[in-house]
Structure 1
Amino acid sequence: MNNHFQYQRIKRDTVVYSLVFILFMVVLAKAFDVQIVQSSFLQNEGNKRQIRTMTIPAPRGEIYDRNGNLLALSTPIDSIWVDPKILSYYLDPVQQQQNAIKEHLSVKDVQKQQAQISQDVKRYKEMLRILGLDEKNITQTLLAKKNKRFLYIKRSVLPPVTRQVENLDVPGVFIQNQYKRYYPAGEILGHVVGFTNIDDKGISGIEKAYDKWLTGQQGKKEVIKDRAGRVVDFVKDLVPAKPGHSITLSIDKDIQFFLYHALKKAYIRHQAKSVQSVILDAKTGEILGMATIPSFNPNNRSQLQGSRLRNRVITDVFEPGSPAKPFIISKALDLGLIKLDTIIDTSPGAMWIQGQRITDTSDHGKLTPQGIIEKSSNIGASKVAFKMTPDQEWQMLNGVGFGQDLGIYLPGESIGYMKSPVEWQKIDQASASFGYGFNINLLQLARAYTIFANHGVLEPVSILKLTSKQLTERLKKTEKTKAYGIKNGNEKDIGLDTNYSATEVHRVISAKTADEVLAMMQTVVSPEGTAKKARIPGYTVAGKTGTVHKTKVGGYHQNEYFSVFVGLVPASNPKYVMATVVNEPSRGVYYGGLVAAPIFKEVMQDVLRIKNVPPDQTPTSHKEER
C-alpha cells in the first residue's frame, strides 16, 4: 500500500514539474520572440505612440539702420494651446459619470477620482487667472469643441508667464514656443520698417518687401511624450533651426528722429490732413529719412489698421506744382532755346490758353529764367515751355523719373501718371510747365532733384545701404556720364537713351545747365524769394516752393492745397535733398514757403550739426521774416 501511494506521488510530481517546465519554456520562447525576433517591430510601434516630431521656431533676421542701430528684432514669445478632447473631460460632469459607468468604478474610486479632478480644475482656473482670460467664455468654448484636438487660448505670452502656466501642469494644456517682432524705434520708423502679423509674416514696409529674406527656416526634433501629451524626454535633432538673414537699411536713425518730430509739430501746428517728407543722400540716392504723419506704433496692434498705415511718401500721388519749373528751365537751356539773360515778358500776370486762364500771384513784368524760378511765375514757365515741342518737354519730365517705378520694391508704391506727349494740347504743355496735368509721388520728386546735386546725372534711389562695392561701381558710372555734354543744343549728339531703367545711373542734362539752375534756385531762399524761411545761417540753400490746388472730380478745389518745398543743402556742393508735402494745412496759412519751407530749416540745421557738415558761407544774422 505504501509503495502504491509513493508511486502516485512521484507520478503527480512529475506531471507538475513537467507543466512548470513547459510553462517556463513558453514564457522563455515568448520573451525571445518579443526581445529578439520582434524587437524592432515592437519598438517602432511603441515609438509611433510615444515619439513625436516637434518644430523648432526660427527667429526672423534683424533689421538695422546704416549705423548698426537695431530697428527690428525677434524676441522669444509663447502661445498657449489646449487639446479640448482632453481638457473638456475635467470640466464636464456628464463625461466623468459616463466614464465611471464604463470603467465599473466603485464609489470609493469615484470619490478619489473626483478629488483629483477638483485639483485639476482648480489649477485650470488659476491658469486662466494668470493669463487674464474669462473663465466662463473659455470653458464654454472648450465644451463646444470637445471633439477637437487643437485650440489656441492665448498667444504672445511672455516667457515668465509661460513658466507659471507650465508649473501648474494642467492636463491637456501645451506650450508652443514662438518669436514676436519688436521695434525699438516704434512709430518713428513704423512706415519704413513695417510690421508682421501674429504668425510672424511680413505685412507692410520692409517686413513685407523682404519677407522671404528675413524669414528663418524652422527646425525639427524628436521628443517622447507621455499619455497626456507632455514632453518627457528629448530624442534627437532632425533639422536645426536657421535664423533669417539680416538687412541693413540706408535709413539713418538720427536723421529719422529729427524728421519725424519736425513733421509731427507741423502736423499739429497747421492742423493738416497729413504731412510727409523724405531725405536723400544727394550723391548716392540712398534714403536717409522717410516719414509720414499720422504714423503708427508697430508694437501696438490696436493701431495697425486704417489709413495711418499708408507710407504716403510712396503711396500718395499729387501734382507737384511749381517744383517742376526748374526742370522746364533746364531743358530749354540745354536745347539752346533760351539763355541766362533771355527776357520773358510775364505782364500783365495772366494769359488765356484754349479757354483756360493762367495767372501769377502778381504782375512780375519782364523776367529772366532766374527770375521765373525766383518769383515762381506760371506765365514765364508756360512761355518757356512753348519754345520747345511737347515731346521735348515730356522727355525732360520722363527723364527725371516722373511716372516711373523707382525699383525699391516697397509695398503700396504708386508710380503716378503722365499721358503721352502725342495726346498733349497747348494747355497740357503749359500746365505741365508749372507742375499740373500729371501726378507723381514725393520720393520721385526728391529723386528728380538729385540731378542738380550731381551735375545733371540722375541717381537711382535705394532703401538699402549701398555696399562699398556698389558705391564704387555707381561712382564709376556717374563719372563716365560726366564725360558727356549737350552739344549745339541737340540732345541727340550725346545719344541720350530714353528707355533707361530706373535703377541705372544716367545723364539728364549737361553739367553746365545743372549748375546754372542750381544757382538760380538759391535765389528762391533769398530775402526776395518765396522760401525765405528755409534759410539756414552759415549754409547756402537751394530749393523750390509749391502751393498746389488739390484735384477733385472735374477740376480743382479752390481752398484745399498741398504745400510743397524741395531743398538742397549745402548748395555749393549738395549733400542732402529733402522734399516735403503738407496736405491741407487748415490754419489760414498754406503757401509752400510759409508751411513746408520752415520744416526743411528745422530738420536740416539739426542734421548738418550732428553730421558735422562744415558751413559753406560766412554766418550772418537774419531777422525772422513773417
Structure 2
Amino acid sequence: MSAEPQPHRIARWRFALVLSGFVLLLLVVQGRLVMLHTVKQPFLFEQGEQRTVRHEVQPAMRGSITDRHGRPLAVSTPVVTLWLNPQQIDPKRLPELAKALNLPTRTLASRVANAFDKQREFMYLQRQMSPQDAQQVLDLGIAGVYGDEDFRRFYPAAEVTAHLLGIVNIDGQGQEGLELAYNDYLSGRDGARQVVKDLYGNVVQSVQVQQVPRAGDDLRLTMDLRLQYVAYRELKAAVAAHNAKAGAAVLLDARNGDVLALVNQPSYNPNNRATLKPEHMRNRAIADLIEPGSTMKPFTVAAALESGRYRSNSEIDTSPGIIRVKRKAIRDHRNYGVLDITGIITKSSNVGVVKLAHDLGPESIWSFFADAGVGDTTVLGFPGEAVGRLPYPEQLDELRLATVSYGYGLSVTPLQLAQAYTTFTEGGCRLPVHLVMPEQRDPECKRVMSERVARQVVDMMGTVVSERGTGKRARIDGYQAGGKTGTAHKVGESGYEDARYTAVFAGVAPISDPELVLVVVVDDPQGQEYYGGEVAAPVFSRIMSQALRLRQVLPDERDPNWLTTLVAKRGQHEAQ
C-alpha cells in the first residue's frame, strides 16, 4: 500500500516577496496620486483647461452705408469660415470632405499633408461660405473640421456705386473709396468669449463673455441712389456709343453742394472680383485731372464783369477770328466779328476771352480762378483725390495767360469743376461739397463774385443751349438749362495730339432758379463726333431731364421767347 502525496506548500520567503511587491506598488500608486493632487495639480488643471476651454473672437458687424433716403448701398451679411486641424483629420475621410467642398481630392490631400508635415494645427478650408452650405459640411461630423462665424460685405447696387463706396478685403478692412476713408468709423469692435468645446469643436458650454462686440457706425451719404442709376446708365451708353476710353459725371445740389450722383466708366462689380481689372477701379471723377477747355470761359467773363470794366453788352472785336500771341495762332471756329460779352459765351470765342484776359492781367485772372477753387482740392478726404493745377501769376506770360483764359494750361477734376460752377448758382459763393450727410450745415461760403455778376453769367450760359449756341443738344424739354461746352486736345508724349480729345459739358438747371449742377466728361471719343456739344451735351440733357423730374422740380413755363426774356432780365440786372 503506497503512501499518500503531501500537498505543495509555498515557501514563506516567496509569499513575503510577492506581498512586499504588491505593497510597494500600492505605495507607488498612492504616492503618485498624492503628487498629482498636490505638486502637479496646478499644471494639470492648466493643461486640462487648454484642451477644453477656448477663447473665441466674436467679429463685430461692419456699419452699413446708405444713400440720403436710407437705401442700403453696403451691408454686411453673416457667413461661416471653415477650417481644419491637420493633426486631427482622418485621411480616410478626405475624399468625402473634398466632395462636400467641391474640391479635387488630390488638391485637398496635398494641402493637408503639407500642413501636417509642418506641424500646423490650423488650415483654411473655405472662407465666407453661406451658413447653409457650411452647415452641410459640418454635419458630416468629420473630426478636425470647424466653423467660425464671420461677416461678408455686399453691395446691392454693384458696379453703379463701386467707385464711390470702394471695397473691403476678405478680413473686412476698407481698401478703396469711402470704405477706406471711413474704415475706423465703420469697423466697430470685436467681442470675445470663453467657451468649453468637445473633441469635435462643438461648443458644450459658454463660460463667460469677456467683451461684447460693438457693431460699427452707419454712414449716410448725400448721394441719391435713383439719380446715381440714371447718371450711370446714361454715361455708360454714351461711352459705348462713341467708343470712348472712359467717362465721368458729377451731379451736385446747387443749393448746398451735396453730391447727388458720382459715376465713372469703365466700372467693376465689387461683389465678384474674379475678372477685376485694376485700371477699372480708378475714380476718375475725383482722381483724374483734365484740362476743362472752354468750360472755363464763364469764369474769365465773370472776372471781366466783376472788375467793373465791362458790362454784359460791352463789345469786343474778334475779327478776323484769329489772334497771334508769341507766334502762336489762337483761332475761333470762324470769324464772328464784333461780339458783346454774352456773344463771347454763346459762340465760345477764344479770341474774345483772350482779349479780356490780356486786359485784366494775370493777377486778376489768377485771383478769380483761385477763389473759384481752380487748382485746389474739395477737402473731402477721399482717398486718391487729385489736387488741381493753376499756374501762379508770375508764370502767366502773355501766351500762358491766353491759354488759361479758355481752359488750357490748368487742370481740375470733374468734381472740382462742378464745385466751381456752384459759384454761379448761389449768388457768387463757392459751396463746400459733401459726400457724407453733415450733421449741420455751414452757413458760410467762399465769396467769389457779386450776386449780380453770377446772375448775369447764368443768363449768358442759357444762350449756349439755344439754337444759336454751341450746346443746343443740351436743351431739356420743359426746363430752361444753361451751361458751357468744352473740347480739349489730349496731351500725348510729344505734346497736344490733333486727333484725341476730351469732351466736356458743365451746366445748371433750371436757370431761373438753379437746382442742380452737372458736369459730364467723355474721355477720348472715337469717330466723327468729338466736340463737347456733340458728345457730352446730350448726356447732360438726358441726366438732367430725369434728375429734375425725380426731384419733382416744377417745369418752367413754355415761353417760346425765353431767350428774349433772359436778355430783358440781364438789362434789369445791369440797371441795378
Shift of 1:615: 1.3
Counterpart CA distance in 2 for 1:144 and 1:42 is 32
Q: In structure 1, how many angstroms separate the alpha carbons of the residues matched to 2:310 and 2:491?
A: 32
State the shift of 1:32 in Å: 8.9
Does structure 1 conserve the Cα–Cα contact (< 8 Å) formed by 2:293 and 2:408?
yes
- 2-side partners of 1:242 and 1:274: how far apart? 41
Q: Which amino acid aligns with 1:596?
A: A
Instruction: Name 2:550's counterpart in structure 1.
Output: 610
The answer to whether the 8 Å contact 1:453/1:574 transfers is: yes
Q: Do structure 1's residue 236 and structure 2's residue 208 form an aligned pair? A: yes
The sequence identity of aligned pairs, in percent, is 38
- Which of 450, 461, 472 aligns to 1:510? It is 450
Report if the CA contact (8 A) 1:280-1:577 is conserved.
yes
For 1:35-184, what aligned pairs fall within 5 Å after superposition?
43-87=45-89, 90-91=90-91, 121=92, 123-148=93-118, 149=120, 150-184=122-156
Deviation at 1:366, TM superposition (A): 0.6
For 1:571, the equivalent position in structure 2 comes to: 511
In structure 1, the residue matched to 2:359 is: 387
1:447 aligned onto 2:419: yes
**Deviations 1:49-81 (Å, cap 9, x if unpaired)?**
321211111111000000000000001112222
Alignment correspondent of 2:192: 220
Counterpart in the other structure of 1:292: 264
Q: CA deviation at 1:537?
A: 1.9
Q: 1:621 to 1:300 in 2, by over 3 A?
A: farther
Q: Read off the aligned partner of 1:142 and give its amino acid letter.
A: V
Q: How has the CA–CA distance of structure 1 residues 55 and 408 changed in structure 2, closer, same or farther, with 3 Å as cutoff?
A: same
Instruction: Report the alpha carbon displacement of residue 223 of structure 1 after superposing the two structures with TM.
Output: 1.5
5+ long unaligned stretches in structure 1: 1-18, 92-120, 478-504
Match of 2:348 in 1: 376
Structure 2 match to 1:330: 302
CA deviation after TM superposition for structure 1 residue 553, in Å: 2.9
The alignment partner of 1:408 has SS state of coil
The corresponding residue for 2:6 is none
In structure 1, C-alpha distance between the alignment counterparts of 2:34 and 2:86, rounded to whole Å = 42
Q: Identify the residue that residue 488 of structure 1 maps to in structure 2.
A: none
1:338-391 CA distances to partner (integer Å, 9 max, x unpaired)?
Answer: 222211111111111011110111111111111000000000000000111211
Please tell me whether residue 562 in structure 1 is matched to residue 532 in structure 2: no
More displaced 10-residue stretch of structure 1: 46-55 or 354-363: 46-55
Partner Cα distance (1:45, 1:551) in 2? 70
Partners of 1:524 and 1:532 within 8 A in 2: yes
Of residues 474, 484, 491, the one that matches 1:551 is 491
C-alpha separation between the residues in 2 aligned to 1:621 and 1:343? 24
**Bigger shift: residues 566-575 or 604-613:** 604-613
On the 8 A contact 2:54/2:195 being kept in 1, the answer is: yes
Q: Distance in 2 between matches of 1:169 and 1:426?
A: 82
Identify which range, 138-147 or 224-233, moves more after superposition.
224-233
The whole-number CA distance in structure 2 between the counterparts of 1:57 and 1:132 is: 27
Partner of 2:473: 533
Superposed displacement of residue 511, structure 1: 0.8
Q: Offset of 1:23 from its aligned partner?
A: 11
CA distance in 2, matches of 1:621, 1:160: 66
Q: Which amino acid aligns with 2:76?
A: S
Mapped to 1, the partners of 2:38 and 2:492 lie a distance apart of 86
Check conservation: 2:145, 2:200, Cα contact below 8 A: no
For residue 241 of structure 2, the aligned residue among 262, 269, 274 is 269
Aligned residues of 2:251 and 2:519 also touching (Cα < 8 A): yes
Aligned-pair CA distance for 1:549: 0.8
Q: Is the contact made by 1:537 and 1:619 (CA closer than 8 Å) also made in structure 2? A: no
Q: Which runs of 5+ in 2 are unaligned?
A: 1-20, 563-576
User: 8 Å contact 1:540–1:617 — kept in the other structure?
Assistant: no
**Cα distance in structure 1, aligned partners of 2:541 and 2:476:** 6
Quote how far apart the aligned CAs of 1:216 are: 2.1
Partner Cα distance (2:549, 2:306) in 1: 36
Q: CA–CA distance in 2 between the matches of 1:20 and 1:140?
A: 52
Q: Show the 5 A alignment for 1:451-470.
A: 451-467=423-439, 470=440
Structure 1 CA distance for aligned equivalents of residues 528 and 535 of structure 2: 10
| 1:21 CA displacement | 13
Structure 1 residue identity aligned to 2:281: L
Question: After the TM superposition, which segments of 4 or more aligned residues of structure 1 sit over 4 Å from their partners?
Answer: 19-42, 227-230, 619-622
- Structure 2 distance, partners of 1:570, 1:594, is 21
Note the alpha carbon deviations across 1:383-433, whole angstroms, 9 max, x for none. Answer: 000111211111111111112121111112111222221121100100000
Hey, what does 2:14 align to over in structure 1? none
Contact 1:209 1:410 in 2 (8 A): yes
- Pair 1:21–1:621, CA change in 2 (3 A): farther
* Aligned counterpart, 1:345: 317
**CA, structure 1 residues 619+264, in 2 after alignment: closer, same or farther (shift >3 Å)?**
farther
Question: Could you say which residue in structure 1 is the equivalent of 2:163?
Answer: 191
Amino acid at match of 2:113: L
CA distance in 2, matches of 1:32, 1:81: 41
Q: 1:162 to 1:538 in 2, by over 3 A?
A: same
How far, CA to CA, are the matches of 2:192 and 2:313 in structure 1? 75
1:314 counterpart residue number: 286
Cα pair distance change 1:146/1:26, threshold 3 Å: closer
Which residues of 2 match residues 614-625 of structure 1 at below 5 A?
614-618=554-558
CA–CA distance in 2 between the matches of 1:303 and 1:465? 33
**Number of residue pairs aligned between Structure 1 and Structure 2:** 543
